[in-house]
A and B are shown apart, each in its own frame.
Chain A
Amino acid sequence: MFPIREATFLALDVKLLRIEAPRIARRREAGQFVIVRVHEHGERIPLTIADSDVDQGTITIIVQGIGKTTKLINMLETGDVIQDVVGPLGEASEVSLFGTVVVIGGGVGTAIAYPTAVAMKQAGNRVLSIIGAKTKDLIILKEQMQATSDALFVMTDDGSDGTQGFVTQKLVELLQGGEQIDRVLAIGPIPMMSAVADVTRPHGIKTIVSLNPIMVDGTGMCGGCRVTVGGQSRFACVDGPEFDAHDVDFKILAQRNTLYRAQERAALESLEADPAGDLEEIRHCRLEQKHPEVGPQAK
């Protein structure tokens, strides 16, 4: 059982949760993720660790409510408990002194890019950040990114914050402006990461993306998260989640991520029609935690 110490919305459908998980907090490095199972009947989903606090023994995840499980997580509040959290999984981001690093975060991808941006800055890099979203209300971690970047550019589809346009536009502008870029980290929706790869490819700029395919165990056991990189099948959970963007087959990745669309839609509809059952299962856990003596009988 993993208690939630803090739960706050950062934007519409985007929630920050600080979870007590001391072992994970102690070992976690930028770029790694956890697998979360909300309750006894839940699925296992990967979520990148946005931050951790060793003294408090907590990790922070930032979750955008899209499907049933993520929407359900967004319904949780301080004091609720998550059934299972396991990690830190995956390889840490490769961080060293590269020179000028452009960090690009699209939508909730900013939450995943943020810890690596911090690490890049600490390693002495000049960090230029571009964060983008559909609209102003969906821009997250703006102040934090500002604080860790030498320059921050905000892009929105509707121009309600920063400049109107896609993150790739700003990247092209930087390149056209003669900016010497040594490395790019791009994390966001698949079309965005693919577009960034296309921009940097002709310039030969090493570009890293963090992939989020469907996973089950997260330890290399099932192979469900296999992605095609440089023509080879790789497991995102143990070989990744970060890969060289110029080698990733984004089309296959996008196709594999739609495998369970029908079931996902049905699950979401049933949650939205009646979230009580799922919430009760979680809240019952909270009862168990506070009053172990009522445990199983309460069920």
Chain B
Amino acid sequence: MAEHLPPKERTKIPRQSMPEQDAHERAHNFDEVNLGLEIVVAEKEAQRCLACNDPKCVQGCPVGVKIREFVDLVMDGEYLKAAAKIREDNVLPAVTGRVCPQENQCEGSCILGKRFSPLAIGHLERFVADYEQATGQVGLPDRAPLTGKKVAIVGSGPAGLSCAGDLVLKGHRVTVFEALHEIGGVLLYGIPEFRLPKEIVRNEVDNLSKMGVDFQTNVVVGKTVTVDELLGEEGYDALFIATGAGLPKFMNLPGEHLGGVYSANEFLTRVNLMKAYDSEHYDSPIYDCRDRNVAVIGGGNTAMDAVRSALRLGAKNAFIIYRRSEEEMPARREEVHHAKDEGVQFMNLHNPVEFLGNDDGYLTAVRLIKMELGPEDESGRRKPIPMEGSEFDLPLDVAIIAIGTGANPLVQSTTPDMQTNKWGYIVADEQTLRTTKRGVFAGGDIVSGSATVILAMGAGRTAARSIHDYLITAEW
């Protein structure tokens, strides 16, 4: 238990740092990079909170976690209560504590950050969630009496899981359908072990099972069963589509078919879901990266995950090739910093124009062109412009394309009366997440396009509220 200090004293405490695995060591293993805060350190960090009357951090959180209240409980040594407080708004605290871009959300809004470093809210969230898991005393909220209503959720990523958690508590019967063989969606196939251990995801999924959520793997809605069948003969009263933005974008450059050219989705799925890094025990192969040159094209979190995975698979040189400068990079700051510490080489202001291969169809090099930044474009970032005549070849064995993803059309293509936009994303009302088809809601990346775990979770919560209203009132 830590003392509540006067505000002046609080600002004197420096932001407590997160202990990490040594950079040289961790670049060769898949164990988690961040090691978590010790109790005393967490309490000391919690003491820094200014306990604002009108906490900006809460407004900065897409799911509205009661940050001030949970931090207060940490200071009082009430870690389990703190965890339960987070769970009121966030069903995956151990996940978001690790993968949220806090610098743009809660911590970005923290008043302390104006003159000092912001409160380490993400690290504290992770601390209480891990503490809760370690004690095995997860404070699961109580479930309301059964309503007799059935809801199907399509996709078990962050949007689907958070919607499932909220709806089951309201007393509805909830079944989550997942196309892959394991529950978790992008948390499982996308984010690597060293950033989000799969054990953490499994624990959170187990918690949802205990709360009453039914999970069915190996069901591709749109193929194995259609939306109309679920709403018809299978007797579901409402449906939430949370299939994410799973379709990898390629660059349509010459040589993209070459062996050694991957989408980030494939590379990460092989490494994470199929555990190709543990070839002694798992059968799925991955292109041998040992002593090879590997480059990842892109500057987002997925690009960082892929390049750091390649390093861990033994790459001699691991490059990030990004067409803008570091300032415009969309990745979380911590990931960029970790990647640099581990030895990733950043080739900013470069863009590939062609992949070059040998007669056997294997990649040997990428032809790059240098870029410079022009005036701002519609995204508000300075537009990269190719510098004519600056092309050169970088010898390369593996190229991983991480320039974003699009909408997977499987559900939409067999649900003709549900409207999609010109990019194939599902059209849903911003407030209610209702689609144009009665009883069907959609949210997360399949509506917004690629975003973050926490925004998807926010959409899941909104959908849960809206679905609950619909089930109770039967009004569309």
Contacts and interface: CB of A to CB of B under 8 A. Distances in A.
A24 B224 contact: yes
Contacts of A221: 189, 246-248, 265, 269, 408
A194 interface: no
Given A41-B282, A219-B220, A238-B410, 17 more contacts: A41-B281, A43-B274, A43-B283, A43-B285, A84-B217, A84-B218, A86-B224, A87-B220, A87-B224, A220-B247, A221-B246, A222-B248, A224-B262, A233-B250, A252-B361, A255-B361, A264-B285
Nearest to B224: A23
Given A37-B181, A223-B263, A69 B283 contact: yes
Nearest to B401: A223
Task: Give the most central of A89, A223, A252, A259: most B CB within 10 Å.
Answer: A223
Which are the 5 A-B pairs with shortest beta-carbon distances? A255-B361, A222-B266, A263-B285, A260-B285, A86-B218
Contact of B257 (A43, A86, A87, A252): A252
Interface in B359-416: 360-361, 408-410
Contacts of A264: 285
Nearest to A271: B283
A93 to B, nearest CB: 15
Contact of A219 (B257, B275, B410): B410
A182 interface: no
A246 interface: no
Given A23-B225, A86-B181, A44 B274 contact: yes
B265 A223 contact: yes
6 contacts: A42-B283, A69-B283, A84-B217, A221-B248, A222-B248, A267-B283
A83 B288 CA distance: 27
A170 interface: no
A88 interface: yes
Of the four ranges (under 10, 10 to 19, 20 to 34, 35 or more), the interface on chain A belongs to: 35 or more
A233 to B, nearest CB: 6
A5 interface: no
A256 B259 contact: yes
B284 interface: yes
B219 interface: yes
Nearest to B278: A41
Interface of A: 23-24, 27, 37, 41-44, 68-69, 83-89, 216-217, 219-224, 226, 228, 233, 238, 249, 251-252, 255-256, 258-260, 262-264, 267
Nearest to B282: A41
B223 A262 contact: no
B179 interface: yes
A87 B223 contact: yes
Interface residues of B, number: 40
Contacts of B218: 84-86
A85 B219 CA distance: 9
B58 interface: no
A252 B225 CA distance: 34
B270 interface: yes
Nearest to B413: A238
B180 interface: yes
Task: Give the most central of A86, A222, A238, A252: most B CB within 10 Å.
Answer: A222
B265 A233 contact: no
A1 to B, nearest CB: 10
B363 to A, nearest CB: 11
Contacts of A217: 179-180, 269
Interface in B219-235: 219-220, 223-225
A211 to B, nearest CB: 13
Task: Give the most central of B181, B270, B410: most A CB within 10 Å.
Answer: B181
B116 interface: no
B181 A84 contact: yes
A263 B189 CA distance: 21
Contacts of A23: 219, 224-225
Given A44-B274, A85-B218, A224 B266 contact: yes
A219 B179 contact: yes
A102 to B, nearest CB: 30
Contacts of B53: none
Interface in B172-215: 179-181, 189
B274 A216 contact: yes
A251 to B, nearest CB: 8
Contacts of B180: 86, 217
B284 A44 contact: yes
Given A37-B181, A43-B285, A68-B283, A27 B223 contact: yes
A83 B283 contact: no
B147 interface: no
B86 to A, nearest CB: 30
A210 to B, nearest CB: 17
Task: Give the most central of B252, B266, B274: most A CB within 10 Å.
Answer: B266
A262 B275 CA distance: 18
Contact of B408 (A88, A89, A219): A219
Task: Give the most central of A84, A216, A221: most B CB within 10 Å.
Answer: A221
A89 B223 contact: yes
A233 B275 CA distance: 27
Nearest to A215: B266
B256 interface: yes
A220 B410 contact: yes
B257 A233 contact: yes
